Structure 1
Amino acid sequence: MSENKPVRRRRRADADRSRTAILAAAVALLDEQPDASLERIAEAASVTRQTVYAHFSSRDVLLNAVLDELTRETLQAIDALELDEGPALDKLLQLINLSWRAFEQHPLLLHVPQTSGSAERHDPVVQRFARLIRRGQRAGEITRELPVDWLTTSLIALGHAAGESAATGRLATRTASKTLNTTITRLLQP
């Protein structure tokens, strides 16, 4: 029985490496070609299409896994901003700028449709926005005339509008980012 454990561990390690390679290839390829097929992703990951299907039952499942991975990375970067330190409005703008860097690094994010997991992915970011807004309101840096939930919803909606403007080419990505920062600053200032 103990002889089977190393074999199982080796198979598990191989499966983990395959999954990691598939996700990395999917991120890179989907950033360049948002409509890339599973066959193309398998080729880029140096695995068979069957291996992709063993880990991800459909393209949508793979796309959701990619989005989950990018969300995890983004949340780590957001938490590194130390949101409880320094002026809240400055931290909010840093958070927004970090989000734009994620869009620039992963253009896929500008082209992906809203999926079943979108709300769950947004929730941790929404919570961080709300926490910053509350802190800023207590410190007098952010307007108290508007409720936290409204301001949070407005920030998310403005971010989506700016992202859509960049994705459709109505605004250059940098212009959309700068315009978003200006709009948010004007909205939040007391």
Structure 2
Amino acid sequence: MPVTTGRRADAQRNVAAILDAAAACLVRDPDASVSDIAAAAGVGRVTLYGHFSSRTELVDAVFVRAMTRAHETLDAVDLDGDARQALARLVESSWQVVDESRMLLVAAQRALPPERIRELHESPLRRVRALLERGRADGGFRSDLPADWLVAVFYTVVHGAADELGAGRLAATAAPSAITATLLAAFTPPGERVLADALPLDPS
């Protein structure tokens, strides 16, 4: 029993080391190879393949872990009260999560099929959809367009900002205000004033 327990503990340490190394390598280079990741983890390729049968499976595991941690972070965001103010708070936290994991998303998009990427975003998107539905019900958000389309707009704008940041065309400090302003303009019912008070403070 102690031998078995020790082997299991060694395996868990190896998996944790591989996932940590893979995340770090993929952030630096979304096309990092299995050899690069194994070397960074301090294990051999045989050991790595003993836990992950392919690079695709490893990238999937890294992205699942990142999305799980993101979900836990966003669970702490207060989404009560005015839906537009709540949207600003969600963008502030969501953006930090996306900014931290944007290169992992690039790696995932290159290795995984689009339907898998969408599946792994389902939990965060359910949170967005619930907030939008509440805002639509109380008149803060437009109801003349399908809710699924508004969710897609949220997803597209946030990840578009990540792309702009990566290209050097958007500063990280300016991103929350830019995203929130764009989403509020898109979500506010036609003819109504966009709630400027919901915008994060401009760091400039």
TM-score, normalised with respect to structure 1: 0.86
How many Å separate the matches in 2 of 1:188 and 1:104? Answer: 23
Higher alpha-carbon deviation: 159-168 or 21-30: 159-168
* 3-state SS, counterpart of residue 142 of structure 1: coil
- How far residue 73 of structure 1 moved from its aligned partner, in angstroms, is 0.3
Partner residue, 2:188: 189
Higher alpha-carbon deviation: 135-144 or 164-173: 164-173
Higher alpha-carbon deviation: 145-154 or 99-108: 99-108
Please tell me whether the aligned partners of residues 165 and 172 of structure 2 are also in contact (alpha carbons under 8 angstroms).
yes
How many Å separate the matches in 2 of 1:53 and 1:143? Answer: 50
Partner residue, 1:121: 120
- How far residue 113 of structure 1 moved from its aligned partner, in angstroms, is 4.9
Instruction: List per-residue Cα deviations over 1:97-125 (Å, max 9, x = no partner).
Output: 22221233234135335223201111111
Tell whether 2:95 aligns with 1:100.
yes
Read off the aligned partner of 2:81 and give its amino acid letter. G
Read off the aligned partner of 1:70 and give its amino acid letter. A
How many Å separate the matches in 2 of 1:78 and 1:7? Answer: 40
Q: How does 1:58-97 map to 2 (within 5 A)?
A: 58-83=54-79, 85-97=80-92
Query: Superposition RMSD on alpha carbons, in Å?
Result: 2.0
How many Å separate the matches in 2 of 1:164 and 1:122? Answer: 17
Read off the aligned partner of 1:144 and give its amino acid letter. S
Please tell me whether the aligned partners of residues 30 and 104 of structure 2 are also in contact (alpha carbons under 8 angstroms).
no
How many Å separate the matches in 1 of 2:102 and 2:30? Answer: 9
- Indicate how the Cα distance of structure 1 residues 29 and 52 shifts in structure 2: closer, same or farther if over 3 A, else same: same
Q: List gaps (5 residues or longer) in structure 1.
A: none
- How far residue 132 of structure 1 moved from its aligned partner, in angstroms, is 0.4
Higher alpha-carbon deviation: 29-38 or 174-183: 174-183
Read off the aligned partner of 2:97 and give its amino acid letter. A
Counting matched residue pairs gives 185
* 3-state SS, counterpart of residue 182 of structure 1: helix
Q: How does 1:26-37 map to 2 (within 5 A)?
A: 26-37=22-33
Instruction: List per-residue Cα deviations over 1:63-104 (Å, max 9, x = no partner).
Output: 111110000000001111143x22222222222222221233
Tell whether 2:54 aligns with 1:55.
no
Q: List gaps (5 residues or longer) in structure 2.
A: 190-204
Read off the aligned partner of 2:16 and give its amino acid letter. T
- How far residue 58 of structure 1 moved from its aligned partner, in angstroms, is 1.7
What percent of counterpart residues are identical?
37
How many Å separate the matches in 2 of 1:143 and 1:179? Answer: 20
How many Å separate the matches in 1 of 2:164 and 2:52? Answer: 32
Please tell me whether the aligned partners of residues 98 and 159 of structure 2 are also in contact (alpha carbons under 8 angstroms).
no
TM-score, normalised with respect to structure 2: 0.80
* 3-state SS, counterpart of residue 5 of structure 2: helix
How many Å separate the matches in 1 of 2:126 and 2:132? Answer: 10
